[in-house]
Structure 1
Amino acid sequence: MPTPDFRAAVEARDLDAMTALLADDVVFRSPVAHKPYEGRPIVAAILANVIEVFEDFRYVRELHDDAGHALVFEAKVGDLSLTGCDFLEYDDRGLITDLMVMVRPLRAAEALAAAMGARFDGIVEMAAQLAGSDAH
């Protein structure tokens, strides 16, 4: 089952392992952005930054069915606690094709949006570098 690999990679803060589990055409559905982000480079860059923004991150529950998996987590953004869920869908190779994240409460989601927004230019730059390294 692929989920423990993703969970273990996130818990270890192992960006290379997380990225290796993403399909080339993975879609990331952010809890704070209106449009989805598509492609391994941008999703990897987002993951690299969010693991720095989240403090005291821990998965607390795992659910799964034939359609995919859900990993419930708790974390802090600054002094605000939040609960969230990673919803994962996989292809037949076990690679993540869709990663949707939801978080609550609203105040913590707003803090997450502000923290990630402040990093957005760096995220885009990192994605371009990752895309360039994938091409070689």
Structure 2
Amino acid sequence: MSTAAEALARWHAVVESRDPAGLAPLIAEDAVFHSPAVHTPQVGRDTVVGYLTAAFTVLGPELSYVREWLGADSAVLHFRTKVGGLDVEGIDMITWDADGQIVDFTVMVRPRKALDAVIEHMGAELMRMLEASGA
């Protein structure tokens, strides 16, 4: 059994390393990702890892968490970064299961102009990743 604080520490370690290889062990098999750019929830470990891997590239080295709120099995993380020369602000809402694996990951981004930039860059990165995998 894992506490939310322990799970959050593992998340922060992977984010700080910027190494997407550390993502899969953090994500539950049936995890769900809610993107600000895609209407339908994205389901499954591989899909969630793909979106988060693309986010590591798009949100880049300037991504920093500036505040966080921790619950019994969840956290809300307020972040800032730059994408396409625009200031981006948003939140990650993460929920963990009893084993400390992420079961739900929701992202919200503002302002609208920044969201548009994130959508454009994420779309391009996801396409690049798809082409690189030969899919």
For Structure 1 versus Structure 2, the TM-score category normalised by the shorter chain is 0.7 to 0.9
Cα deviation for residue 103 of structure 1 reads: 0.8
Q: Which segment drifts farther, 113-122 or 89-98? A: 113-122
What is the root-mean-square deviation in Å for CA atoms of aligned residues? Answer: 1.9
Give the 3-state SS of the residue equivalent to 2:23 in structure 1.
Answer: helix
Give the 3-state SS of the residue equivalent to 1:92 in structure 2.
Answer: coil
TM-score, normalized by length of structure 1?
0.86
Unmatched runs of 5 consecutive residues or more in structure 1? 130-136
Q: Which segment drifts farther, 50-59 or 116-125? A: 116-125
Match of 2:115 among 109, 120, 124: 109
Which residue identity lines up with residue 73 of structure 1 in the other structure?
F
Q: What is the alpha-carbon distance in structure 1 between the residues aligned to residue 49 and residue 13 of structure 2?
A: 16
1:82 aligns with 2:98: no
1:60 aligns with 2:66: yes
Cα deviation for residue 37 of structure 1 reads: 0.6
Cα deviation for residue 73 of structure 1 reads: 0.8
Alignment CA distance shift 1:98-1:127 (3 Å): farther
Alignment CA distance shift 1:10-1:126 (3 Å): farther
Match of 2:79 among 73, 76, 92: 73
TM-score, normalized by length of structure 2?
0.86
Alignment CA distance shift 1:38-1:97 (3 Å): same
Aligned residues: 129
Cα deviation for residue 95 of structure 1 reads: 0.3
Instruction: For 1:113-128, list aligned pairs within 5 A.
Output: 113-124=119-130
Unmatched runs of 5 consecutive residues or more in structure 2? none
1:46 aligns with 2:51: yes
1:95 aligns with 2:101: yes
Cα deviation for residue 14 of structure 1 reads: 2.0
